[in-house]
Amino acid sequence: MPASNTDHYPNICFENNPFRFDRKCGMLDFSDEPYRDYPPKDIALWRWVLGWYNRKRFLPQAKRIARLTVHGAETLAQSRAPGDRLVLMPNHPTHADAAIMLEACRLAGLTTQMMAAYDVFLRSRLDAFVMQRLGAFSVDREGSDPRAMKTALGVLEAGRHALVVFPEGNVYMENDRVTPFSEGAAFLALRAARQLKGQGHRVLAVPVSIKATHLTDCKVLVIERLRTLAKAVDVALPERATPVEAMRLIGVALLHRNLKLRGLDTPEADDFHSLISHAGGVVMDKLEAKLDVAPKPAATLIDRVRKARQVIHEVRTDPERVADHAAAATWADEAMLALRLASYSDSYAASHPTLDRVEETSEKLAEDLYREMMPPLAERAAYVRFNEPVPLCEYVAEKRAGRQQVRELTARCEAMVQRGVDLLNETNPHPGSEKWDGPFA
């Protein structure tokens, strides 16, 4: 397999796509439906048919991925020994990542089974049917899930498929910046490595970098989106505003709107970054007081949301606490608001305002306003880089606390994914990488 493999997809207009399964809420909303286990249903014929559909129809139409290029497949093949098990840990910057990984692994000669939040399976019976037959299985991301752990360990023990886990846990729409990984993927990989050591099998953690970039100059479409958003939140954009300035004004107005609708005070701050941080803190302070949860001193806003979500999930799925379910629904909404606030970074677009970064941020603003997934504005190229595998035998051989090893492996894989994204950006020849810091006109 060559180190770089490019597959060109047919140029099909998204508006003509009749299979629009993805007009759901963008960032995956928390679900508190009773947990239901969705195991993978590995049927070769279905895998082939749905893989063909993903390649020929879903990616080019629904996700407008016109080109997919794979790097590092040759290095990965050379690093593997017979019997090695693979845990693929990609970043999760776009709504097309699962479909991109499915096709990238095919090009790299791998079949996969993928861990996915059970919330996704609940969207529709069709979604669940398709995902299971592509090898996906459910996990309860709000707490311990022994069934998902057993399924994942079974995938690695059997050794027929690579296991895909997205450590970011959600789509944050910052393709150039990796969001801190949760430790679940590393914990799972290390546990499998210890179990399979006695059978003579290595487990390799493979950090995977995904990058999507625009193939055309779609500034006019982004400007139109920003003007529509400004009108929706009653903001007058200055005539010579830059895209970053426009997004700040829209973001502040949207924040005030969301807080006001929930009866929360609007914090005062001098800059957008402080406003976001303060607002997130205000939301979580009040939510944690309701839940009687004390955050750890060094906890980030995302850490605090995850902890609160565990408590809320326990309440909403407990049949003996039906009286509290209505209140818990409000708590869940506040937790989602805090998570959305935590997903914004003022410096992401401002520090390097490329077309890609501006479009991503405008898409995030649109999703937060309309609470549904936005269709891609224009055709994109996707790049997938399989980074150097990390053999976990070196961790298994060490006599150290397991928690410390999990943290180190998590940080190591996160850094490798970020480095892979940086390398892909260094060679990005497309309009999406071009700087856009001038006014709209």
Do 382 and 360 belong together in one domain? no
Question: Are 405 and 190 a contacting pair, CB within 8 Å?
Answer: yes
Q: How far is Cα 175 from Cα 165, in angstroms, rounded to an integer?
A: 17
**Tokens at residue 39, please?**
């195991």
**Tokens at residue 3, please?**
């180190």
Residue 271, pLDDT score: 67
Do 69 and 159 belong together in one domain? yes
Do 293 and 350 belong together in one domain? yes
Do 386 and 339 belong together in one domain? no
Q: Is residue 439 part of a domain?
A: no
Higher pLDDT, 264 or 57: 57
Do 352 and 408 belong together in one domain? no
Burial class for 275, CB neighbours closer than 10 Å (0-12, 13-18, 19+)? buried
Q: How far is Cα 79 from Cα 208, in angstroms, rounded to an integer?
A: 15
Is the pLDDT at 333 greater than 80, yes or no? yes
Q: Is residue 204 part of a domain?
A: yes
Q: How far is Cα 414 from Cα 417, in angstroms, rounded to an integer?
A: 5
Residue 419 belongs to a domain with what CATH number?
Answer: 3.40.1130
| Pairing mode of beta strands 112-117, 136-139 | parallel
Q: Is residue 274 part of a domain?
A: yes
Least confident of 227-241, 305-319, 370-384: 305-319
Q: Is residue 134 part of a domain?
A: yes
Count, residues in the chain: 441
Higher pLDDT, 36 or 266: 36
Is the pLDDT at 28 greater than 80, yes or no? no
| Of the residues 334, 352, 370, the one at which a domain ends | 370
Do 223 and 178 belong together in one domain? no
Q: What is the pLDDT of residues 132-178, one digit of tens each?
A: 999 999 887 766 678 889 999 999 999 999 999 999 988 888 999 99
Cα→Cα distances 418→33, 165, 177, 210, 428, Å: 34, 16, 7, 10, 15
| Of the residues 335, 370, 405, the one at which a domain ends | 370
Do 319 and 339 belong together in one domain? yes
**Amino acid at position 134, single letter:** L
Using the 8-state DSSP alphabet, how is residue 309 labeled?
H
Do 49 and 192 belong together in one domain? yes
Do 208 and 249 belong together in one domain? no
| Of the residues 343, 370, 397, the one at which a domain ends | 370
Do 321 and 205 belong together in one domain? no
Burial class for 214, CB neighbours closer than 10 Å (0-12, 13-18, 19+)? buried
Residue linked to tokens 């009773």:
34
Question: Are 184 and 167 a contacting pair, CB within 8 Å?
Answer: yes
Q: What is the pLDDT of residues 335-347, one digit of tens each?
A: 888 888 887 876 8
Do 55 and 120 belong together in one domain? yes
Q: Is residue 441 part of a domain?
A: no
Is the pLDDT at 14 greater than 50, yes or no? no
Domain count of the chain? 2
Q: What is the pLDDT of residues 104-130, one digit of tens each?
A: 999 999 999 999 988 788 888 898 999
Domain limits for position 226: 219-370
What is the largest distance, in Å, between two alpha-carbon atoms of the chain? 68
**Amino acid at position 165, single letter:** V
Cα→Cα distances 199→239, 287, 307, 405, Å: 68, 48, 37, 22
- Averaged pLDDT of the chain: 86
Do 143 and 229 belong together in one domain? no
**Tokens at residue 379, please?**
């055709």
Residue 2, pLDDT score: 37
Residue 269, pLDDT score: 62
Is the pLDDT at 192 greater than 50, yes or no? yes
Q: What is the pLDDT of residues 369-386, one digit of tens each?
A: 888 889 999 999 999 999
Q: Is residue 440 part of a domain?
A: no
Residue 315, pLDDT score: 86
